[in-house]
Amino acid sequence: PQAIRLSDYRPPAFLIDEVALTFDLHPTATRVTARLQVRRNREHSEPLRFNGERLKPISVAIDGRVLSDGERTIDDEGLTIPSAPDAFVLETEVEIDPENNKALEGLYMSGGRFCTQCEAEGFRKITFWPDRPDVLSRFTVRVEADRSFRHLLSNGNLIEQGELEGGRHYAVWNDPFLKPSYLFALVAGELDVLEDSLVTMTGRTVELKIFVDPGMAPRAAYAMDALKRSMRWDEEAFGREYDLDLFMIVAVRDFNFGAMENKGLNIFNSSLLLADPATATDADFERIESVVAHEYFHNWTGDRITCRDWFQLCLKEGLTVFRDQSFSADMRGHAVQRIKDVKALRARQFAEDQGPLAHPVRPSSYLKIDNFYTATIYEKGAEIIRMLKILLGAEAFRAGMDLYFERWDGHATTVEAFIKCFEEASGSDLSHFFAWYEQAGTPRVSLESQYDEAAKTLTLNFAQETPPTPGQPVKQALPIPIAFGLLDGEGRPLRFEHDGEPQDETVIVLDQPQASITLTGVDRFPVISALRGFSAPVVLTTDLEPKDKYVLLAADPDLFNRWEAGQELARDLILRRAAGSPDEVNEERYADALGRALSDQSADPAFKALMLALPSEPDLALVMSPADPQAIHEARDALRTRLSVHLESQLRELHNGLQDLGEFSPDAEGAGRRALRNAALDLLLANPRSDNAAYAHGHFEAAGNMTDAMAGLSALMQVGGEAFGQALADFYERWTSEPLVIDKWFAVQARDPSETAIGRVMGLTAHPAFDTKNPNRLRALVSTFANFNPARFHDPSGAGYRFLADQILAVDRFNPMIAARLVDPLGGWRRYKPELGALMRAELERIAATAGLSKNVYELATRALA
């Protein structure tokens, strides 16, 4: 297959100003008629080539005249008209089969309803079109269907509706805003609707509608609340007002991704929209809030201003993740949110950067763009925006954003054009900063310090280096903002002077391979708190000793670094154990320090819950070379047991004292208390006391909400045996008719690290409720197993790898996008013990050698092997 390169970008040969689409909906034979106002873009004599896949052509006409076979050709990839006029009306009619579309791209059916997913290249499966984001058009859409499909929805405003003969009806929608084809959406079906409204900053009333499965409207209340808060926040934080008079969201159960920002008609995976305390956990509520915000924020960063080409994907995704993270921080607390965001970044993006699939935030070539919806584009893309704000300051950052909105509204643009707005608004030269978009890999920053007691000076010596990544053997130094402050040995903030200015905290920009700075007026021996708030996406190593880290853990006013110090101490203890030399003295010391952190009455419970969780096994695997997942699992478990025994009475007190007394509230405060209580339970269960099974069972039985029920089930998983088996059976019976809860039932079993679990996971693929065609169900079992159960996925027998490869090959036959997303856990094979790495590699080779593989899986499997 042919790679697509950024350097080959050419403006579109033809533009479409207006389009009128008519959908005559039938599950297996839908007719799509398109009437396009086409014009040649600038002077050239190229033929017209429009994309089109899996379309059954019925007719093609120009200015009312049907073209003969000789005047146009249609192949697997689209329509070619060798000699087209400069401006004309193109009319096409095609037939498509939504019912049998299991790739879930284009127009397909989910739960008996029609719905669409067009990003990135799904529109070409609906009609002939130049399916690229820089062709912006005004859409009018007529939808006709049997009356049993009660709601007929598309983008924009409803301008007409009525009845037709033969039990059918229709609706006509017009979207006044220019948009690319990937933002097109259509939904038709029997749905319930939750309605509300919001008065915008200029006093306009916007109708808000959330469409869900019949009977589910009450479960959309939290999403509606999150939507209204997001709309208000975007007005206040960025001055952005919603533009149409109607904003709709539809929930569907079969969806390849989380959600989609189609103009005025967002489509959501139901798992990211429906929630009530009985069926959803706090983590679900939190995720719903952030994804509702994310998709809403795309209205300006994605829809009103879109990407010129798919290489610019981070222009909308990185920026919108930054916006949703900022919103969540305002809703739920800045420190806790930052810790969660960094945990996710390290787990997904740092891992990606260390493996064969590492790529720049703005890549320069791809085979299938679907494979580039990665943590690098999204999460590292957001980190770049965050650094931009740190470097320029909040005011200049906002001025740059304002200029971007003003200059590029209604256009498809590039990352260069975006950065230029900040250069102009701030008067800074950001040419060096641009390397963050073009260079892959996670910079390693080291910091060594020397304190001169007589002179009261502190010298900080920094060095940076980025390891090579595929295709980029040589790296340049990047501008890295490092926020830092000082504490004294007692944990009191220590003032210092930098460039003659007295400071509590400052930011320096490290833009050379090495740099040295000297602080003056440092009165006492300092403990350095560096990279505060994780001011840059780098791996920092310092010459801090454990005693310094204990100071930070106890007292750093920067809560991110307080948490980070605890993680580093725990990580080193686990790695010592994994290497066979446990440091029992420091383990006790760590347990004491953790105990003190837990008894700090002024600390937020959500923060304490994060302090209580040890680094995850996949995170530990990233810092062990070569990685030995079994040794990590055992060592981590052993430290947990020690902590559990040491902190037993405190953990029980927390567990007993934090019970929900009043009504359930999904807000940050209620969720924080439950998080701490359940983290205490989780750690308690690491103590092999015989009465713990009953304790966990008591928690499970008493649970009044899904957060506590799942915590109870996970605790019973640690107990295993009959206690876990019975709880699983009861849980299944109680929730059989709730697909989103049954997904959790599959996921908890997929996480079970006990030795018999692998057989159970394989057996679950034959369970009547398992359905590979439903991405949520598949992810719940297969993806959870491969990503969150390292002890069993990396089973020395290779059975875990074989299982994953079998699933990839089976799913690839009907849903390549989802199959490709499963390849990643095998991709890191070089980082593991040679005997494991060889088994992983063998499975990748088996996949790559399979005939008829999709481009999606082929690209990832071959890149992983290269």
Binding site residues, Zn ion, CB under 5 A? 317, 320
Q: What length does the chain have?
A: 866
CA pseudo-torsion sign 649, 651, 652, 658 = positive
Short-list 74, 82, 68, 80, CA closest to 56? 74
Catalytic residue among 91, 119, 286, 295: 295
Structural tokens at position 785 = 């197993």
Q: What are the residue ranges of helices labelled H in 505-657?
A: 546-555, 559-578, 584-598, 605-612, 617-622, 629-646, 648-657
Q: Considering the complex, state which of residue 294 and residue 642 has its C-beta at the smaller distance from Zn ion.
A: 294
Q: Considering the complex, state which of residue 320 and residue 466 has its C-beta at the smaller distance from Zn ion.
A: 320
To which residue do tokens 């809030």 refer?
Answer: 289
Binding partner selected for residue 191 from Zn ion, ligand HT7, none, CB under the kind-specific 5 to 8 Å limit: none
The minimum distance between CB 857 and Zn ion, in angstroms, equals 23
Binding partner selected for residue 256 from ligand HT7, Zn ion, none, CB under the kind-specific 5 to 8 Å limit: ligand HT7
Q: Quick count: other Cβ atoms within 10 Å of Cβ 10?
A: 9
Binding partner selected for residue 617 from Zn ion, ligand HT7, none, CB under the kind-specific 5 to 8 Å limit: none
Q: Considering the complex, state which of residue 298 and residue 633 has its C-beta at the smaller distance from ligand HT7.
A: 298
Question: How many degrees, rounded to 5, is the angle at CA 786 between CA 783 and CA 787?
Answer: 80
Q: What are the residue ranges of helices labelled H in 430-545?
A: 435-438
Q: Considering the complex, state which of residue 118 and residue 390 has its C-beta at the smaller distance from ligand HT7.
A: 118
Q: What are the residue ranges of helices labelled H in 299-414?
A: 313-332, 334-344, 351-354, 375, 381-392, 394-408
CA-to-CA distance for 178 and 406, rounded, in angstroms?
Answer: 16
The minimum distance between CB 373 and ligand HT7, in angstroms, equals 5
Cα 132 to chain centroid distance, Å, stands at 23
CA-to-CA distance for 798 and 56, rounded, in angstroms?
Answer: 44
Q: Considering the complex, state which of residue 186 and residue 522 has its C-beta at the smaller distance from ligand HT7.
A: 186
The minimum distance between CB 210 and ligand HT7, in angstroms, equals 17
CA-to-CA distance for 504 and 452, rounded, in angstroms?
Answer: 19
Q: Considering the complex, state which of residue 320 and residue 815 has its C-beta at the smaller distance from Zn ion.
A: 320
Q: Considering the complex, state which of residue 72 and residue 294 has its C-beta at the smaller distance from ligand HT7.
A: 294
Q: Which amino acid, one-letter code, is at 265?
A: L
The minimum distance between CB 258 and ligand HT7, in angstroms, equals 6
The minimum distance between CB 257 and ligand HT7, in angstroms, equals 3
CA-to-CA distance for 240 and 297, rounded, in angstroms?
Answer: 9
Binding partner selected for residue 337 from Zn ion, ligand HT7, none, CB under the kind-specific 5 to 8 Å limit: none
Q: Considering the complex, state which of residue 118 and residue 198 has its C-beta at the smaller distance from ligand HT7.
A: 118
CA-to-CA distance for 367 and 270, rounded, in angstroms?
Answer: 30
Q: Which residues bind ligand HT7 (CB under 6 A)?
A: 117, 119-120, 256-257, 259-261, 294-295, 298, 317, 370, 373, 817
Binding partner selected for residue 260 from ligand HT7, Zn ion, none, CB under the kind-specific 5 to 8 Å limit: ligand HT7
Backbone angle region of 713, left / alpha / beta, with phi > 0 → left and psi within -120 to 50 → alpha: alpha
Q: Considering the complex, state which of residue 317 and residue 843 has its C-beta at the smaller distance from Zn ion.
A: 317
**Which secondary-structure segment (H or E) carries 30?**
strand 30-40
**Which secondary-structure segment (H or E) carries 488?**
strand 480-488
Is residue 295 part of the annotated active site? The answer reads yes
The minimum distance between CB 632 and ligand HT7, in angstroms, equals 32
The minimum distance between CB 188 and ligand HT7, in angstroms, equals 19
3-state helix, strand, coil in the chain (%, to 5): 45, 25, 30
Q: Considering the complex, state which of residue 261 and residue 587 has its C-beta at the smaller distance from ligand HT7.
A: 261
The minimum distance between CB 261 and ligand HT7, in angstroms, equals 5
The minimum distance between CB 802 and ligand HT7, in angstroms, equals 28
Q: Which amino acid, one-letter code, is at 66?
A: V
Binding partner selected for residue 335 from ligand HT7, Zn ion, none, CB under the kind-specific 5 to 8 Å limit: none
Q: Please state whether the peptide bond connecting residue 120 to the residue before it is cis, i.e. omega within 30 degrees of 0.
A: yes
Binding partner selected for residue 305 from ligand HT7, Zn ion, none, CB under the kind-specific 5 to 8 Å limit: none
How far apart are the two ends of the chain, measured CA to CA in Å?
A: 16
Question: How many degrees, rounded to 5, is the angle at CA 548 between CA 543 and CA 554?
Answer: 145
Taking each helix axis from N to C end, the angle separating 668-684 and 706-719, rounded to the nearest 10 degrees, works out to 10
Binding partner selected for residue 373 from ligand HT7, Zn ion, none, CB under the kind-specific 5 to 8 Å limit: ligand HT7
Q: Considering the complex, state which of residue 382 and residue 713 has its C-beta at the smaller distance from Zn ion.
A: 382
Backbone φ and ψ of 15, nearest 5°: -115, 155
Binding partner selected for residue 397 from ligand HT7, Zn ion, none, CB under the kind-specific 5 to 8 Å limit: none
Q: Judge contact between 495 and 503, C-beta under 8 A.
A: yes
Short-list 544, 538, 652, 553, CA closest to 596? 553
Structural tokens at position 268 = 């959501």
Short-list 315, 541, 534, CA closest to 411? 315
Q: What are the residue ranges of helices labelled H in 180-220?
A: none
The minimum distance between CB 534 and Zn ion, in angstroms, equals 22
**CB contact burial 456-474 (16+ within 10 A = b; e otherwise):** ebbebebbbebbebeebee
The DSSP bridge partners found for residue 173 are 141, 158
The minimum distance between CB 378 and ligand HT7, in angstroms, equals 7
**Strand 365-366 to 4-5 pairing:** antiparallel
- Comparing every residue's Cβ against ligand HT7, the nearest one is 257
Binding partner selected for residue 370 from Zn ion, ligand HT7, none, CB under the kind-specific 5 to 8 Å limit: ligand HT7
Catalytic residues, by residue number, are 295
